[in-house]
Amino acid sequence: MLSLNSVCIKIHDLTLIRNFSITFLPSAIVYLKGENGSGKTSLLRSIAGIQELSEGNITFGKNNTNIGYLSKPYCAYIGHKNAIKPELTVIENIEFWAKLYNSYEAISAAIFYFKLEEIANRKCQELSTGQIQKVALARLLACSSQLWLLDEVENNLDSEGKDLLTRLIITKADSGGIIIASSHNDPSIKSSVIINMHDYAKKPI
């Protein structure tokens, strides 16, 4: 269970999110929608522990522990920039993270799922933008975590890649995972919850 309690995010003097409280139960698929600068990325970063909250707190897990006290890594995150090193091979880019999440055996499954077998030993600088995005998603799959935070990951994916991602999200949710994704497009998963950031942002108290 992931709970956001009276969350407030300010950047400089601009309040992006004010007094935002919500609880996500296991198997939740949530899409954050909103225009540019509405606070989608900031919210995902705050949940991931990258950015500090201005006010409020976030708890996660069975004991509702504040994320500041949780042992890292407690989530799998893909940001705007996919953190793929062009000089390393596909395998090398995934290997370190899979080891870190104690799910080394999931690497081959992740590579197989995103059909990256033929390019597994090629350097990422030789790949297309869409293929690099698939490598980032394969890394996500190889990292065993119950909380996925995806920041506009559908960008640069072809229709096949989008289908694979959709199926992956549904499978993850079926196994009790919580998936929070930001997107500008309408979600293809009907059971997902859409949060319009505009409804929560800059709202007067």
Residue 69 touches another protein, criterion: CB under 8 A: no
- Using CB under 8 A as the binding rule, whether residue 92 contacts another protein is answered as yes
Is 181 a binding residue for another protein by CB under 8 A? The answer is no
> Strand (E) positions, 64-146?
65-66, 76-78
Please state, in angstroms and rounded to a whole number, the distance separating the CA atoms of residues 195 and 40: 10
Q: Which stretch binds another protein (CB under 8 A): 27-35, 82-90, 161-169, 189-197?
A: 82-90
Exposure class string for 62-99: b at 16+ Cβ within 10 A, else e? eeeeebeebeebbbbbbbeebebeeebbbbebbbebbe
DSSP state of 9: E
Q: Does 52 bind another protein (CB under 8 A)?
A: yes
State which of residues 5, 19, 27, 51 lies at the interface with another protein (CB under 8 A).
51
Q: Is 130 a binder of another protein (CB under 8 A)?
A: no
If one asks whether residue 99 binds another protein (CB under 8 A), the answer comes out as yes
- One of 22, 70, 88, 120 touching another protein (CB under 8 A): 88
In whole angstroms, what is the distance from residue 174 CA to residue 28 CA? 9
Query: Total number of residues binding another protein (CB under 8 A)?
Result: 26
**Mode of pairing for the β-strands spanning 55-60 and 76-78:** unpaired
Q: Is 49 in the site for another protein (CB under 8 A)?
A: yes
* Contact positions vs another protein (CB under 8 A): 11, 45, 48-52, 71-73, 75, 77, 79-85, 87-88, 92, 96-97, 99-100
